[in-house]
């Protein structure tokens, strides 16, 4: 076993994890705002009864999104809630790493 853990690695991890957390928070706020604008644009297009309009130097067009399936809901619908509970109960749990300073 030649692996070692240095103080610098642990400090870097904590610093980067804190930075990542702050960026995640900012990203969620940006997504919330862009989602609100998308909803506004969709409502406008629906109100106009059009799939595409030009406004203020921009083209707004409804486009098909990627197919999406709510797998949990679909599994419950097809297999039933008891099967879903069984799958969840028997699911393998992954291991993570937590780093905390020691006083």
- Here the tokens at position 12 are 């870097």
24: in domain: yes
Write down the H helix ranges in 49-99. 71-79, 81-90
Whether pTM > 0.95 for this model: the answer is no
pLDDT in tens, 31-79: 999 999 999 999 999 999 999 999 999 999 999 988 888 888 989 999 9
- Here the tokens at position 72 are 């949990």
What local confidence, expressed as pLDDT, does residue 68 receive?
83
pLDDT in tens, 9-31: 999 999 999 999 999 999 999 99
Domain interval for residue 1: 1-64
What local confidence, expressed as pLDDT, does residue 47 receive?
97
Domain count, the chain: 1
33: in domain: yes
Q: Is the pLDDT of residue 1 over 90?
A: no
Write down the H helix ranges in the chain. 7-48, 71-79, 81-90
69: in domain: no
């Amino acid at each position: 076993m030649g692996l070692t853990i240095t103080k610098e690695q642990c400090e870097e991890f904590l610093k980067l994890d804190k930075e990542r957390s702050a960026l995640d928070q900012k990203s969620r706020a940006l997504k919330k705002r862009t989602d609100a604008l998308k909803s506004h644009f969709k409502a406008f297009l629906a109100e106009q009864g059009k799939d595409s309009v030009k406004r203020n130097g921009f083209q707004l067009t409804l486009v098909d999104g990627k197919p999406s399936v709510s797998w949990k809901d679909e599994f419950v619908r097809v297999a039933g809630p008891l099967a879903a509970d069984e799958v969840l109960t028997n699911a393998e749990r992954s291991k993570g790493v937590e780093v905390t300073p020691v006083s």
